[in-house]
């Protein structure tokens, strides 16, 4: 069973969601009947908005050189673009922080959540505007020399008709939507999280429909990478308490994830809570079973996994969770390309509010626990 999606509404709709330029949020993955003992992970000390977005699990900062009348301060070497992540200026959490400067929770929510770079979701099937909306994000990131993380989330039969249902009406329409998405990528480095749940949850589809979906996903990866050679495309690996590594790798092969023309690797733990250490082990096992080019890696959603998954398997805004490792493209772990905040902390799974809406009390609990 997959949890309710966090839905984001496009510009001009009645309700503002995660970002005015993104369309959607989604896919809280959970496998029924599986439990995991929570493991404590150290909560990172996160910098303020004025600090660089090039974060690591244990940030370190060099001392600023002293100035003197006879000596000019030496400018630091620029951080490589591949080490920076883009903080999109439009999100629900930023809207809340700006609107509540006097709230006692604001400093914690701002410094530990709002100031961190998170993914931008595109989930409404609006083919006429997808290219311009993607371009608005990628051009904003390029202007800052930073790397955006985009989530493509419009596959037909999304969430198998569950709470996150939606997407394109059919695969032909989806292929056209992907073409538009690719047209907005530009030529800079960008990370694309391609269709959460689309592979791990595909058992709900009949065999012929599953094969058609996988062919479309393989095409999507090829189109995205052909449009922007700097694009890094990652495929859905579920999470460590869902499918076995062997089963997941078999599904991923069928979806094109073992081909360098389509894929840079896999992603796991999107909108879930499993510990980073469990996901590292799982992702490496999936990659080993997947084969393909030696350069394939994995990215892990660490946005809410600081205390691991609840022992009872609860997936919907469970109590006692906290934010995990800060987003970074420099993990120090073999075959782990990035820790990303794909699900923005504080956006509800559907229990503390409507799915995808921002809950300041939930955000504060995640950031302060």
Instruction: Write out the catalytic residue numbers.
Output: 159, 197, 349
Structure tokens at 365: 């609990």
For strand 149-152 and strand 190-194, is the pairing parallel, antiparallel, or unpaired?
parallel
Angle CA(316)–CA(95)–CA(349) in degrees, nearest 5? 10
Structure tokens at 271: 């909108």
Q: Can you tell me the distance from the alpha carbon of 6 to that of 196, in angstroms, rounded to the nearest whole number?
A: 12
**Helix, strand, coil % over all residues of the chain, rounded to 5:** 30, 10, 60
Closest listed residue to residue 166, CA positions, set 23, 59, 364, 291: 23
| H-type alpha helices, 90-204 | 92-99, 106-109, 130-144, 171-183
The DSSP code sequence of 187-243 is SS-EEEEE-TTTTTTGGGS-HHHHHHHHHHHHHHHHHHHHH-TTEEEEEE---TTSS
Q: How far is CA 290 from the centre of its chain?
A: 22
Is 175 in a helix, a strand, or coil? Answer: helix
């Amino acid at each position: 069973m997959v949890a309710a999606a966090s839905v984001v509404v496009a510009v001009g709709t009645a309700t503002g969601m995660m970002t005015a330029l993104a369309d959607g949020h989604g896919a809280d993955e959970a496998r029924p009947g599986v439990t995991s003992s929570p493991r404590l992970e150290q909560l990172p000390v996160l910098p303020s908005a004025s600090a660089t977005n090039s974060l690591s699990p244990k940030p370190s900062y060099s001392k600023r050189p002293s100035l003197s009348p006879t000596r000019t301060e030496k400018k630091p070497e620029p951080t490589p673009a591949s080490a920076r992540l883009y903080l999109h200026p439009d999100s629900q959490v930023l809207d809340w922080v700006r609107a509540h400067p006097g709230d006692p929770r604001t400093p914690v929510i701002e410094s530990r959540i709002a100031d961190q770079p998170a993914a931008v979701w595109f989930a409404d099937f609006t083919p006429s505007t997808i290219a311009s909306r993607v371009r608005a994000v990628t051009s904003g990131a390029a202007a800052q020399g930073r790397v955006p993380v985009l989530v493509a989330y419009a596959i037909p039969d999304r969430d198998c008709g569950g709470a996150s249902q939606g997407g394109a009406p059919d695969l032909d329409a989806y292929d056209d939507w992907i073409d538009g998405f690719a047209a907005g990528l530009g030529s800079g480095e960008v990370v694309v999280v391609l269709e959460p749940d689309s592979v791990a949850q595909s058992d709900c589809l009949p065999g012929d429909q599953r094969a058609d979906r996988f062919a479309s996903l393989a095409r999507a990866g090829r189109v995205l990478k052909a449009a922007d050679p700097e694009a890094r495309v990652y495929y859905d690996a579920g999470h460590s308490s869902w499918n076995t590594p062997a089963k997941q790798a078999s599904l991923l092969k069928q979806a094109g994830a073992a081909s360098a023309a389509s894929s840079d690797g896999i992603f796991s733990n999107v909108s879930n809570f499993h510990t980073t250490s469990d996901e590292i082990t799982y992702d490496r096992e999936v990659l080993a079973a997947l084969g393909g080019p030696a350069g394939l890696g994995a990215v892990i959603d660490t946005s809410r996994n600081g205390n691991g998954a609840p022992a009872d398997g609860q997936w919907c805004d469970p109590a006692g969770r906290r934010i995990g490792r800060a987003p970074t493209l420099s993990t120090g772990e073999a075959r782990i390309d990035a820790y990303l905040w794909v699900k923005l902390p504080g956006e509800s799974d559907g229990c503390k509010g409507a799915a995808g809406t921002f809950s300041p009390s939930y955000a504060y609990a995640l950031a302060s626990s």
